[in-house]
Amino acid sequence: MKNVLELIRVSTEAQAAQNRASIPAQRTVNRRTCAQYGLEIVKSFEISDVSGASVLLAPAMQQLLALMQSPDIHGVVAREFSRLMRPDNFADYALLQAFVDSKTVLYLPEGPLDLTSKTGRLLGTIRAAIAGMERTEILERVWTAKEEKRRRGELAQGKIVLPWGVGYEQGRGFFYKSEAEKVREIFRQFLSGNQSYSQLARLIGVTPRGVHVIMRNPIWTGWRIIDQKRDTSAAGRYVSINGRQADRRKIGRAADEIIRLKVIDQPLVSETDFLTVQKVMDLKEKKHWRSRTDYEHRFTYNGFLTCSECGETIHTALARRDYYACKGRRIDHACNTRYMRREKLEAILDGLFSHCLSTPEFLEGCIDELKRRSENDDSVNRVQRLTSEIASSSQKRDRVIDSFLDGVLSREERDQRLATIDRDIQIAHGMLMQERPSSPLDIGVLTEVLAPLTEWDFWDREQKRSLLAALVPDVRVADYKVESLGLNPTIFSNEDSHRDKDSWQRQA
């Protein structure tokens, strides 16, 4: 008996549902192939909700490729070639090279495919190209069918794409929901003079940007205008996490592709009022300070300051003169810190960057403080415990799958146990991402990196903000007193210091 790995893949979650027979059918065919060629499955990999064009990104596929390197593994068994891949670009063909490098045979119901041989290399390339072409044809057929429904005034996708306050039913078509009356009120208040997106957003419980998008939609006049479409090319596909199915980028339609249909006879807003609102919104956008090329940007440190008292972001404010103000006081009214004059605070921060951060004595004090903290830091032990916990949970997961394949566990028991184990692994991974042992810093490296700051006083605002964007400082300040300064650790080391997006660097 030759040891092989089993590959089972379905493209959508719906195909993996218990009421669908795709996965059991693939397993049955694979068992028949194993019996025919004297194969023994030592490990089975099930991949769901992953397209054949993204299969290389799936963790299960990466595990399969790693196991293929073992001399004990002779081949991989699959129901059909398309379960292995449906290439979307030439980079996807690297998967075939992995079979060649590991001398792994692909077993299909029609026979083995040895990609190391001349015939196998030819057939493998042809079959991969055919699988990719089939995928393209499937996308084209689906797109054509949906496009025809759109031109008939029907909903071609799920209801999740419907605008806020709009519904759709088969036979009834598009209609306004009861909550759409709030949209009518938004248009009325906007025309009456209340043109604050923040205030209007509170009426319907969305963000200011959300109410801006809602008011731009011509559906309130009864018209449905589709002037964008999904990019079906390889470049339009988003790189999703673990290869799971994701959306595609939107691109503008050509003039002859734009769809304009009257889908609701009784509009919520008259076309005159709608066009008036659009003109006012265009004018607001044109006159917004972010859109003005002649606007004078006066603040240098906005976006890099945090209140050391309450931890809220420090905003900029204009009250007869320029100020930095804590959000906790200015908006939430929960912080007692003072407004800080721009000129005075920026003079203090300029001194910090131009003098303190370029002084070896100051940097030596920072390093001594970091060393003192690292002596009391048990992050290394926590990392070891978490790594061991993840490894133990992964082994437990493999045992559950093996028990299911041996018939000891039912599908429901397997899913229940795997859900608990996967949750534990995810929690441990999240905790591990927050742990990173402090790396040693060298005074020479620090001095060299921060040496350009000696010219800080002579730089203009744009030059300063360019360097601030690289340093990514987190300046904790309140009442003109700088409590701490956090810097991006990657500027001091060549090590990979990527962390979770919600984490922050240590403060010095």
Q: Which one has a higher pLDDT value, 365 or 377?
A: 365
In a domain, 239, yes or no: no
**Residue 353 shares a structural domain with residue 317:** yes
For the record, the structure tokens of 129 come out as 């190209």
Q: What is the pLDDT of residue 50?
A: 80
Tell me the H-state helices in 376-499.
379-405, 411-433, 443-450, 461-471
Q: Which residues contact 41 (CB under 8 A, 6 or more apart)?
A: 4, 5, 6, 30, 31, 34, 77, 405
Segment 38-59 mean pLDDT: 85
Q: In whole angstroms, what is the distance from residue 105 CA to residue 501 CA?
A: 41
Q: What is the pLDDT of residue 80?
A: 92
Q: What is the CATH number of the domain that holds 123?
A: 3.40.50.1390
Instruction: Pick the closest to residue 142 from 61, 64, 248 (CA basis).
Output: 248
**Residue 285 shares a structural domain with residue 182:** yes
Phi, psi of 349, deg, nearest 5: -70, -35
Model confidence over 51-104: pLDDT tens digits? 777 788 788 888 899 999 999 999 999 999 989 988 888 888 888 999 999 999
Model confidence over 171-229: pLDDT tens digits? 899 999 999 999 999 999 999 888 888 899 998 888 988 999 999 999 999 999 999 88
Mean residue pLDDT of the chain comes to 83
For the record, the structure tokens of 498 come out as 């990527």
In a domain, 256, yes or no: no
- pLDDT band for position 167 (cuts 50, 70, 90): very high
In a domain, 242, yes or no: no
**Residue 87 shares a structural domain with residue 193:** no
- pLDDT band for position 403 (cuts 50, 70, 90): confident
208 residue type, one letter: P
Q: Which residues contact 183 (CB under 8 A, 6 or more apart)?
A: 164, 165, 204, 214, 215, 220, 268, 269
For 365, the domain range is 297-376+448-508
**Residue 117 shares a structural domain with residue 39:** yes
**Residue 59 shares a structural domain with residue 119:** yes
- pLDDT band for position 237 (cuts 50, 70, 90): confident
Q: What is the pLDDT of residue 481?
A: 92
**Residue 282 shares a structural domain with residue 395:** no
**Residue 130 shares a structural domain with residue 202:** no
Q: Which of 144, 175, 193 is the last residue of a domain?
A: 144
**Three-state secondary structure call for residue 45:** strand
Q: What is the pLDDT of residue 375?
A: 59
Q: Which of 244, 272, 291 is the last residue of a domain?
A: 291
Q: In whole angstroms, what is the distance from residue 164 CA to residue 355 CA?
A: 54
Phi, psi of 427, deg, nearest 5: -65, -45
* Distances, alpha carbon 278 to alpha carbons 183, 187, 393, in Å: 14, 10, 56
In a domain, 32, yes or no: yes
Model confidence over 449-475: pLDDT tens digits? 677 788 888 888 888 888 787 676 788
Tell me the H-state helices in 205-335.
208-216, 271-287, 327-330
Q: Which one has a higher pLDDT value, 235 or 9?
A: 9
**Residue 308 shares a structural domain with residue 207:** no
Q: In whole angstroms, what is the distance from residue 235 CA to residue 248 CA?
A: 9
Number of neighbouring beta carbons within 10 Å of residue 298: 13
Q: What is the pLDDT of residue 215?
A: 94
**Residue 391 shares a structural domain with residue 324:** no
DSSP calls for 76-141: EE-SSHHHH---SSGGGGHHHHHHHHHTPEEEETTEEEETTSHHHHHHHHHHHHHHHHHHHHHHHH
Segment 349-354 mean pLDDT: 88
**Residue 320 shares a structural domain with residue 468:** yes
The bridge status of strand 2-9 relative to strand 39-47 is parallel
Segment 13-21 mean pLDDT: 65
- pLDDT band for position 411 (cuts 50, 70, 90): confident
Q: What is the pLDDT of residue 501?
A: 36
In a domain, 236, yes or no: no
**Residue 211 shares a structural domain with residue 165:** yes
Q: Number of folded domains in the chain?
A: 4
Q: Which of 409, 437, 465 is the last residue of a domain?
A: 437
In a domain, 245, yes or no: no
- pLDDT band for position 283 (cuts 50, 70, 90): confident
In a domain, 82, yes or no: yes
For the record, the structure tokens of 338 come out as 């003072």
Q: Which residues of 230-241 are buried (b: 16+ CB within 10 A; e: fewer)?
A: eeeeeeebeeee
**Three-state secondary structure call for residue 228:** strand
In a domain, 442, yes or no: no
**Residue 408 shares a structural domain with residue 421:** yes
